[in-house]
Copies of this chain bind each other. A is one copy, B any other.
Amino acid sequence: MNHALATGTRIRKSPFFARTVAAGMTHVTVYNHMMMPTSYGDPEGEYWRLIEEVALWDVAVERQVELAGPDAAALAQALVPRDMAACRVGQGKYAPLCDHAGRLLNDPVLLKLADDRFWLSIADSDVLWWARAVAAERGLNVEVTEPDVSPLAIQGPKAEAVARDLFGDWVSSLKYFWFRETTLDGIPLVVARSGWSKQGGFELYLMDGAQGGALWDRVWEAGQPHGIGPGAPNPTERIESALLSYGSDTDDRTNPYEVRLGDYVDLSIKPDFIGKAALRRIAQEGPRRLQVGLFLEGEPIAGNQERWAVHDEGRSVGVVTAATRSPRLERNIALALIERESAAEATELTVETANGPRRAEVTSLPFC
């Protein structure tokens, strides 16, 4: 069931928009009040291109919330449950942002550009206003803005070869989530080893929206020998890889421990971050729900449009948040958020799919 997206000026367009249209974009979504391509009409080909070659993704919707000024580091540490003292300039850190009750409100990558300047590269919620509220209520001397920065991703096993051709051999020495500021034909960029897949790759944070077409063309051209083609964050690959999709896999009361982000919460650090007391209590008691993998029996399934109820011996214990057919495993797989008591590996459950019940078995994550 397809509905056309009606757009106006409220839903912003990416600096790469004209190029994605020219490349044959067929499906879009809206993310951070902005349009994002999700398919170019060949879902299977786009999947295998990501797994085997290299795909070019317009992910300008990953907006940056910039913290800049004398108290920027203090604000970053207030927002982020990780040890910012251990974060160096040029380093990025994946961070579950929580509210004071420990509820997840975003899962950005934090980039430390300077001792007094940070970006939060955000998922789909208005972190801009959240950060402004905290900064102002605490009287911090910091500017919180959304700068003119739009990431373009190259993802897949051949992405590194493309990045080397574009930028030089130094990109191979970049560690995961680390980045460097540079230029390409005069286009100002941050180049990071990152991206929302587990196939490897880079994100090029374009720092001048007027040069979106020029950047796209340059990367496209450099990618030709490596089989580059258009793509988008891939719902099947991300389920296989068990990457969290904020808003898809989470609800209004999700905490990091429920969705396997406990390793990104450091309760030992001294300056209190927001949510620390609540998160300590949850860590001690253990979360009530857990995100698990499920194998679903039977014929290949299509992706879910709604959350599907999960039953354990007739009792409702949670929901499937995302389901797909895995081409690599040739099995039906799903991410589910269910009660801890039903989350042990090999537990047998029933999933109420859109086309009737399916038997399912709990498995560990990631799938691939």
Contacts and interface: CB of A to CB of B under 8 A. Distances in A.
Given A3-B28, A25-B3, A28-B3, A8 B146 contact: no
Nearest to A303: B8
A270 interface: no
Interface residues of A, number: 55
Nearest to A4: B2
Task: Specify how many copies of this chain sit in the oligomer.
Answer: 2
A167 interface: no
In this complex, the member of A2, A101, A274 whose beta carbon has the largest number of chain B beta carbons within 10 angstroms is A2
A291 interface: no
Interface in A1-49: 1-11, 13, 21, 25-30, 33, 35, 38-39
A25 B2 CA distance: 10
Contacts of A357: none
Interface stretch (A108-116, A133-141, A215-223): A133-141
Contacts of A247: 9-10, 33
A133 B137 contact: yes
Please report whether the interface of chain A is mostly helix, strand, loop or mixed according to DSSP: loop
B9 A304 contact: yes
B5 A5 contact: yes
A132 interface: yes
Contacts of A99: 129, 132-133, 136
A345 B83 CA distance: 56
Contact of A134 (B27, B133, B246, B304): B133
A210 to B, nearest CB: 14
A134 B137 contact: yes
Interface string A106-135: 000000000000000000111011101110
14 contacts: A3-B4, A4-B27, A7-B305, A8-B304, A9-B305, A9-B307, A9-B322, A10-B29, A11-B29, A13-B305, A33-B124, A100-B136, A128-B252, A133-B134
